[in-house]
Structure formats: structure tokens, C-alpha cells
């Protein structure tokens, strides 16, 4: 501190932590989680706004989000009203929504993995150039050729 500067000692774990966070796989994981969260929002909207109305229409106009059983409390028309009144409910429709969301997510992940696997297989199928023979292999070929020439 003789020259007016304050020296701050950085603990070793800070450097290790910084190196850990900046590793490629940790950053890739963070990006994957963020993209996954955004994808979840898309799937939720797809199920709630597209599939559930179509499925409900096909099975007689049932709104899955309001498909519930009241165990205790007032029997009301919608789940929101029942929950607001403090009723104890089994939310069958919300469970069905979650199952549909899971199935759609699993199906999309299946197709993405299948496409990535095909791309990887195509990359592996490209013929690789044969490596140049080593000096030992060249010498052995010369010996083989010389022995073959002596037999004739």
C-alpha cells in the first residue's frame, strides 16, 4: 500500500469456479435449460390452445381445464370458481393437460434425436482417406515383392 493501491487477494476457489463456469459443457447446459424453458412455453400453449379444444370438440365439447371432481366444498361450474371458494378438488383435466404436454415434448425430442443421429451417421459414412503407409509397412511390402519375384 506504499504506492496508494490496495491489494485484494482473490481466493483460489474463485478462479476455479470461474474456470468451471466457462467450460463449454456448463455453458451448453445453461443454454439448453433456457431453450427448454422457452420450448415448454410453446408446448404448453400448443396443448392448451390447439390440442385440448380439438380433443374436447371430438369427445363432446368437454373443456379439460374444467374437468375436476370436488371432494369437499361447494360444487361449482369451473375449477377457478371452486378453488376461489376453497373447495378441495381432484383436477383431472389439468393432469390430462400435463400428460398431453409430456407426450408432445417426448415426441418432439424423439424426432430431434433421430434427426441428429441420422446426421451423425451420414458424417460417419463419408469414406475416410487411407493413412499413408508407415516406413515399416513400405519395407515389408518391398520384402514381399522381392520374395515373390525370386519364386518365379
* Domains of the chain, start order: 12-128 (1.10.1200.120)
Q: What is the pTM of this model?
A: 0.52
Position 124 scores a pLDDT of: 62
Query: How many residues does the structure list for the chain?
Result: 152
Q: How many helices (H) and strands (E) does the chain have?
A: 6, 2
Position 27 scores a pLDDT of: 76
Q: With contact defined as beta carbons under 8 Å apart, do 28 and 73 qualify?
A: no
C-alpha span between 94 and 69 (Å, rounded)? 12
C-alpha span between 42 and 24 (Å, rounded)? 27
What distance separates the 2 farthest-apart alpha carbons in the chain?
105
pLDDT tens series, the chain, 152 aa = 556 677 778 888 888 888 877 776 777 888 888 888 888 888 888 877 888 788 878 888 777 778 899 999 998 988 999 999 999 999 998 898 888 888 887 888 888 888 888 887 776 666 667 888 899 999 999 999 999 898 86
Position 125 scores a pLDDT of: 62
Position 1 scores a pLDDT of: 53
User: Which residue's entry shows cell 441428429?
Assistant: 116
Amino acid at each position: 500500500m506504499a504506492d496508494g493501491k490496495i491489494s485484494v487477494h482473490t481466493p483460489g476457489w474463485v478462479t476455479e469456479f470461474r474456470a468451471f463456469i466457462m467450460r463449454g459443457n456448463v455453458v451448453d447446459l445453461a443454454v439448453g435449460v433456457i431453450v427448454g424453458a422457452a420450448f415448454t412455453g410453446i408446448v404448453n400453449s400448443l396443448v392448451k390452445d390447439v390440442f385440448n379444444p380439438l380433443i374436447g370438440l371430438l369427445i363432446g365439447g368437454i373443456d379439460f381445464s374444467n374437468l375436476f371432481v370436488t371432494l369437499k366444498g361447494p360444487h361449482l361450474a369451473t375449477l377457478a370458481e371452486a378453488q376461489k371458494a376453497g373447495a378441495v378438488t381432484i383436477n383431472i383435466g389439468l393432469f390430462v393437460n400435463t400428460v398431453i404436454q409430456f407426450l408432445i415434448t417426448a415426441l418432439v425430442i424423439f424426432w430431434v434425436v433421430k434427426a441428429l443421429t441420422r446426421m451423425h451417421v451420414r458424417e460417419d459414412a463419408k469414406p475416410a482417406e487411407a493413412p499413408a503407409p508407415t516406413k515399416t509397412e513400405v519395407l515389408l511390402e518391398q520384402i514381399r515383392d522381392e520374395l515373390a519375384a525370386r519364386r518365379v
